Structure 1
């Protein structure tokens, strides 16, 4: 019996073979359990399916990219980055513009990619509370988080400006859709700072890392804190009495960028397209409690309803949140950071 192979299958085989021909990419990420999750869900399967050789490194962030680009000695083809860091690096001219004719983002949330960085995973800045203090009936809005009469107790708050002003301006009554318009002036930033000043007598710790805010909850040192959902999930697994809500949370993402002058830029574009597909992204939650950026990953059957209920980018949870504005951070972060540090030292 004669077997026929569809034109589409032939085209796919030829495309993979063409992509693999003596091709490699060097990818840098942050190491630890995060890079391990990326490697297992994205990098290794994509390498196996395309034949592209993937070399992995760990790096210190965009400062390493800046050094490579400025010296003309670029060795990295793809780097993992926070969305805000990527926005600033792009503004500095450190990144290649991504080709969305090659990278298919048709099923991505529109706020989870930019001209210079394509989303790799989604996380949320949330308010979390100690369930020994408040049970399951903790705060359900940023106004609740700032209400020390309704919810008395010790707070912890972000010690850096990223993710610090939005909760304050929401607590001050600004509608979610107007947050960045209001923050788009020094007067608006000062309004948010004034709200934090009101809370400051009740803030015991201004945290500076995810490990720190998770430890504060594990040790029961504070009754409430801001922080990243994945860190609280891990803390809860370790026995922390902690709960959080996605309502009014800040929807943010980590992304992949290509340094300016990357030696394998074209292969990097193709590889980013590959790892953006739902059949890779639906494996991420198996290794880390961050959500996929490709909405179609929720339709493959790999992510159960129970798992989806705990992921920031699931449709139900995403609808409750405020997407972080990279345009705002690119324009205002430097000024806002200076004003924030002044407030911290008052």
Structure 2
């Protein structure tokens, strides 16, 4: 468990930025600045609520977890006197089930993906959260009216949306710049290599979106033999111009190294690269595929009242906007987007990089993990037939294998 403690020192960010900017590049600077961005201090005197209680929250680490600490955990601790204890986990269903599956949960609040929420809710492991308990928007709209479709469910409340979008190298296109998902398939007007996920998930959806299928019809189309044929036929147009990635950082690296001209990648990574070289990389939000992270309360939570109070607090539009100003994940309340301004340190208009910003969210597809659970095996085989994996390397000759094993064996003096 990690207890929350605030870091209210903007000056230290300047020092870190100067040092890390030379040594580690922009990503390191951004991470350092995120940690040092202004925030409430957990040890400040509480403004109200029950002091002396502890609320345990399971969430992700990295810059995402740091943005939560600044936008949610520290202000909530200050307002209520609650001690926030965070449990960093890997996001897997097995891990979260081990944490909350017993009669008494190890944590009071969990941050989970849509797919995990659906499974946990179906298994009866989560509390019901009433949408009517959430605060209204500044304009008076109820939470049900203010949240985007899918942001509220029986067992969870969405905090952010992240997406797979198309990034492109502005320098690769001198006459005109790509601006819509259809441009992914148009190598005549927009020549150059493409980077796509090495598998059917996301890749087939992108193919249909680029071929003109409306987001509302993508999974219906993909559930038919004709729709599957259409997706692969669309990919045939660019098959010889695709580099396939397995590591999420690869498409960004390949763009910066000019190995590809367009790349499907995760929005958070695209943001970090784009603001590091603002004149170089562009983003096509048209046809983005988004997914959600949501807050939920385990059935066996020890502090259910505190958990409910926290989710109400964290779902306030101002709190959602505070996180969106620190990291490029989109809040799921429309009113929150109106409150998002510039990043407090790097002076970037964050709304331009949020998946749920109105201009970016016009033609977006929500990823359907449950659909893939039913169709993934069949489409995985079809994808491998269409794009066979490379053959494994030839087996070593016996003497070569022995030599390699001997060379790889650590010495007694080697550090662990």
| TM-score tier after normalising by the smaller chain length | 0.7 to 0.9
Distance 1:307 1:338, change over 3 A: same
2:85 maps to 1:55: yes
Alignment of 1:138-149 (within 5 A): 138-149=177-188
Task: Report the aligned-residue RMSD.
Answer: 2.8
**2:139 corresponds to 1:101:** no
Query: What secondary structure does 1:279 align onto?
Result: helix
1:170 aligns with 2:212: no
- Map of 2:266 onto structure 1: 228
SS of residue matched to 2:238: helix
Hey, which bits of structure 1, 4+ residues long, moved more than 6 A? none
Q: Which residue of 2 aligns with 1:324?
A: 366
- Alignment of 1:81 onto 2:84: no
Instruction: Give the distance between the partners of 2:175 and 2:321, measured in 1 at CA.
Output: 30
The equivalent residue for 1:310 is 353
Q: Which TM-score applies when normalising by structure 2?
A: 0.69
Provide, for residues 64-115 of structure 1, a one-character-per-residue CA deviation record: whole Å limited to 9, x for no partner.
Answer: 1122344545212222223334334434444333222323434211232322
Of residues 84, 87, 96, the one that matches 1:65 is: 96
Q: Structure 1 residues 156, 89: closer, same or farther in 2, change over 3 A?
A: farther
Task: Return 117-126 or 258-267, whichever deviates more.
Answer: 258-267
Distance 1:301 1:177, change over 3 A: closer
Choose between structure 1 and 2 for higher RCO, CA contacts under 8 A separated by at least 6 residues: 1
Deviations 1:139-162 (A, max 9, x none): 222221022233222111123554
Structure 2: distance between partners of 1:270 and 1:231 = 32
Instruction: Call closer, same or farther: CA 1:301–1:293 in 2, change over 3 Å.
Output: closer
Distance in 1 between residues matched to 2:114 and 2:174, nearest whole Å: 34
SS in 1 for 2:331: coil
1:112 alignment partner in structure 2:
151
1:255 aligned counterpart, secondary structure: strand
In 1, are the aligned partners of 2:104 and 2:302 still within 8 Å (CA)? no
Question: What TM-score does the superposition give when structure 1 sets the normalisation length?
Answer: 0.82
Question: Equivalent residue for 2:3?
Answer: none
Task: Identify the range of structure 1 (222-231 vs 111-120) with the bigger mean alpha-carbon deviation.
Answer: 111-120
Q: Which has the larger radius of gyration?
A: 2
Alignment counterpart, residue 331 of structure 2, candidates 285, 292, 301: 292
* Bigger mean CA deviation after superposition, 54-63 or 297-306: 297-306
Please, which moves more after superposition, 234-243 or 148-157?
A: 234-243
Quote the offset at 1:232 in angstroms. Answer: 1.2
1:283 equivalent to 2:322? Answer yes
CA apart distance, 1:39: 0.8
Q: Cα deviation per residue 1:291-335 (whole Å; 9 max; x = unaligned)?
A: 2222222344756994323322222322x222405xx432x2123
Distance change (3 Å), C-alpha of 1:96 and 1:184 = farther
Which one of the candidate residues 145, 155, 158 is aligned to 2:197? 158
Q: Unaligned regions of 5+ residues in structure 2, if any? A: 1-46, 136-142, 389-416
Which runs of no fewer than 5 residues in structure 1 stay unpaired?
1-15
- State how many pairs are aligned: 325
